Amino acid sequence: MTQSGHLAISFGRGRADRGPAYSEVLRYEEPSGRNENKRFGGRLTELTEEQDTEDRTSPFSLFTNAESYWWAAQELVEANVRSVHPESPIRFLYYHAIELFLKSYLRLHGHTVRDLGSRQKFGHDMNKLTERAAELGLRFDVEDRHLFKIVAETDAVIRSRYHRTGAFHWPTIDGLDRVCDRLHGSIRDAMRAAGFPAR
């Protein structure tokens, strides 16, 4: 524990090509009064569930979660799993990584967690997420926009979760990885500019 009353922890496992594991500092309050948390020795701050969610869902936490899904997809590609539909979970990981990268950027620019999860505001709507991100300054190239359109206007995401027969059109694995790579680079720079230790 630091002198300022913060508890430093690290999480994740580092990799040579991705740098060491991230570390994060958590607030810790010394025991006092009747609200002591006897199990952990700290005082619990009473917050509404919504306030707690807002406080604990930072832009950086969404960004690192997006990285985790992206890197997991890459690992699964390399693993060359022998199954009937090996690309389905890979695609789902990529789609979710893309959504989280975009939401981390919106969160960085002041959108609430409630907004990000609301179907009326953003939810899983790729059109709304990308339009707002572009308004806030995030730039996309032609391939990015083409992929976003496929995700928004087809059942590509559903097909990655539930097998369906019949003809369909969806992005290549390489294309998904390139889009993640570009989003990661642009949003990482924005995170750094805001003071987050993005690598």
Q: State the DSSP H helix or E strand holding residue 9, giving kind and residue range, or none if neither.
A: strand 6-11
Per-residue pLDDT band for 142 (boundaries 50, 70, 90) equals very high
Closest CA to 18 of 64, 61, 51: 64
What residues does each domain of the chain span? 1-46, 53-193
Give pairs for 194-197: CB < 8 Å, separation 24+: 194/59, 194/108, 196/58, 196/59, 196/60, 196/63, 197/22, 197/23, 197/60
Contacts of residue 62, defined as CB under 8 A and 6 or more positions apart, other chains included, come to 100, 103, 104, 107
Q: 53-193: which CATH topology? A: Four Helix Bundle (Hemerythrin (Met), subunit A) (1.20.120)
Instruction: Say what the pLDDT of residue 56 is.
Output: 81
Instruction: Say what the pLDDT of residue 161 is.
Output: 65
Query: Whole-angstrom Cα distance, residue 57 to residue 37?
Result: 23
Per-residue pLDDT band for 11 (boundaries 50, 70, 90) equals very low
| pLDDT digit string, tens, across residues 83-130 | 878 788 899 999 999 999 999 999 999 988 888 877 778 878 888 999
Looking at per-residue pLDDT, the higher value among 65 and 161 belongs to 65
Instruction: Say what the pLDDT of residue 117 is.
Output: 76
